[in-house]
Amino acid sequence: MEEELREGHLDVKAPALPPGPEPQSEAEKSLIVRLGQWIRQLSIILKQDIIDYIDGLIEMPGSMKEKFMELARKVFPDGVTWETIILLLHVAGKMAVKVVEAKQPHLVIEIFKIVMNYFKETLLGWVARKGGWSPPPSEPSDRMPFNTNDALIGAGLAFLCIVVWKLIRVIA
């Protein structure tokens, strides 16, 4: 199994998404197609452009915390949004992958701590005021709703899993 992980030859397929409601009109179908195309294009742009910026950020002088905090100040000059939170976490994940590729995996934990502390100290209050990650009150649920601590722990675990997976691929 470990060898298959390193070589990336596992025959594991992601489960299919459950079918959603079919669009009712041609306008709805067209909107979904255009939105799907736009998201794919944005993904390509992000993937290409962000790598150069992250390389530059990693190579800048100063501590990882100083660099991340300066970046965070620039990301939220006009206030916090869900989109900016997601993009900042995406960049932090890319930074972690870059330090692993640069054979400096010890910096991954540092990046993780910086991001989690920033989230707790700066963003968690905003997320809680927006309702956190719990289901809306009108949506019945058989399980306990997530609270912000659950979301924080889940995001941290997901972040570490991605970095460890990437580390295994780099080492191989």
**Bigger pLDDT: 141 or 37?**
37
Homologous superfamily, domain 27-135+145-171: Blc2-like (1.10.437.10)
pLDDT tens-digit readout, 57-94: 888 899 999 999 999 989 888 889 888 888 888 888 88
pLDDT tens-digit readout, 134-168: 555 555 544 444 555 556 666 666 766 676 666 66
User: Distance between CA 116 and CA 61 in Å, rounded?
Assistant: 22
Query: Who contacts 111 (Cβ-Cβ below 8 Å, separation ≥6)?
Result: 64, 68, 92, 95, 96, 99
In the prediction, which pLDDT does 147 show?
A: 55
In the prediction, which pLDDT does 17 show?
A: 63
Task: Decide if pLDDT at 14 tops 60.
Answer: no
User: Distance between CA 7 and CA 2 in Å, rounded?
Assistant: 9
pLDDT tens-digit readout, 95-121: 888 888 888 888 888 998 999 999 989
Domain boundaries, the chain: 27-135+145-171
